Amino acid sequence: MFIEYMDHGSLNHFIGHFGRSIPENIIAYIVREILKGLNSIHKRRQVHRDLKSDNILINRSGDIKIADFGYAIQLTKDSQSSREIAGTPAWMAPELIKKE
């Protein structure tokens, strides 16, 4: 397995460093890059299922990467969805945790 080193850490770390003073254009850039990454994996019929600020990595060049595909699933012709609940409980909707 090859893993690219993201020397600026997670988005969570980035937000902790800058707090509420992150300029809107930087936020828009980060969100756009996350959406581009999600679009790429969704085109491959993959679902991440644990997207959170700890799983978004940034390097000093400004590259944004989605990490930790431990809960990811591959959708197939036979399996169009998953009934399995997965993700980090603190980041999940209450109705998912309650299986409602």
**pLDDT, tens only, 24-69:** 999 999 999 999 988 888 887 777 667 788 888 999 999 998 887 5
| Catalytic choice (7, 50, 54, 68) | 50
Half-sphere exposure of 98 (CA within 13 A, CB side): 4
55: exposed, middle or buried (C-beta count within 10 Å: 0-12, 13-18, 19+)? buried
Please say whether the beta carbons of 68 and 50 come within 8 A.
yes
Enumerate domains of the chain plus CATH numbers.
11-97 (1.10.510.10)
Does the active-site annotation cover 50? yes
Q: Between these two residues, 51 and 93, which has the higher pLDDT value? A: 51
Mean pLDDT of the residues in the chain: 76
The predicted structure's pLDDT at residue 99: 65
